[in-house]
Copies of this chain bind each other. A is one copy, B any other.
């Protein structure tokens, strides 16, 4: 039996989670929805994000999802409880898997003191303090830093690389400003947790900037940790042999061409046959 896994994000970032899922659970059937007509969620209010996330999650459930992955930190931070209450299927967010991975990276703790970590995220995720609460529950002290320019920089393709010095310099400077501000507040941070699914594309640049700032701590992204939780859940639920058919369907609420073009950067392979849907926005 092939499980159908719904994966939902406001846009393209969740494809970094799908990428890890495809690697760990290659034979499931995947339904991916990017709510691109209403992105970005990260700068919007709780009420609006809950409303958007509910309509997206219901769409995936109606299309046959048996397990839902909220591959969006903002939607996880602001709407996970509402989604779990509204849907009769398991709902997995990206925050708890990420913080548990961070806790493993920080172990063992210094005597009598909670290790501090730095969480980079969108404005809405930071304001929700969902990471602070999740970190607290695994014995970590989180400093949450809003980095509103990182998503547009990634979407503009200004990811630091050898091919263009000028745009690389801009992104490196933005990272330096954000990380410097955050480390001033938390000079003893033992890890950096990427609290937005766009940020894995900046992972190497973040590691380089941390080294430049003489603070070379592990950088953790929740995409892989979330995929591990999904894989474990499927084994626990089914335990009846591996599923056998690989398949992804992609849905977007705005331009399918843009989704296919930008999406391949996040998925790490080409994104084909995106279907346009209308959630009534």
Contacts and interface: CB of A to CB of B under 8 A. Distances in A.
A174 B149 CA distance: 12
A170 B168 CA distance: 11
Interface residues of A, number: 30
Interface string A64-100: 0000000000000000000000000000000000000
Interface stretch (A22-30, A110-118, A152-160, A190-198): A152-160
A44 B48 contact: no
A280 B280 CA distance: 7
A255 B37 contact: no
A176 to B, nearest CB: 8
Interface string A133-154: 0000000000000001101110
A40 to B, nearest CB: 8
Interface string A29-54: 00000001110000111001000100
Interface in A170-206: 170, 173-174, 176-177
A228 interface: no
Nearest to A37: B48
Interface in A159-173: 166-167, 169-170, 173
Given A44-B254, A149-B153, A166-B176, 8 more contacts: A38-B38, A43-B258, A44-B255, A48-B253, A48-B255, A48-B281, A149-B158, A167-B177
**Which 4 A-B pairs rank lowest in CB-CB distance, beginning with the nearest?**
A281-B281, A45-B255, A152-B152, A37-B48
29 contacts: A37-B38, A37-B44, A37-B48, A38-B38, A38-B281, A43-B155, A44-B254, A44-B255, A45-B254, A45-B255, A45-B258, A48-B253, A48-B254, A48-B255, A48-B281, A148-B152, A148-B155, A148-B156, A149-B149, A149-B156, A149-B158, A152-B152, A166-B173, A166-B176, A166-B177, A170-B173, A170-B174, A173-B173, A280-B281
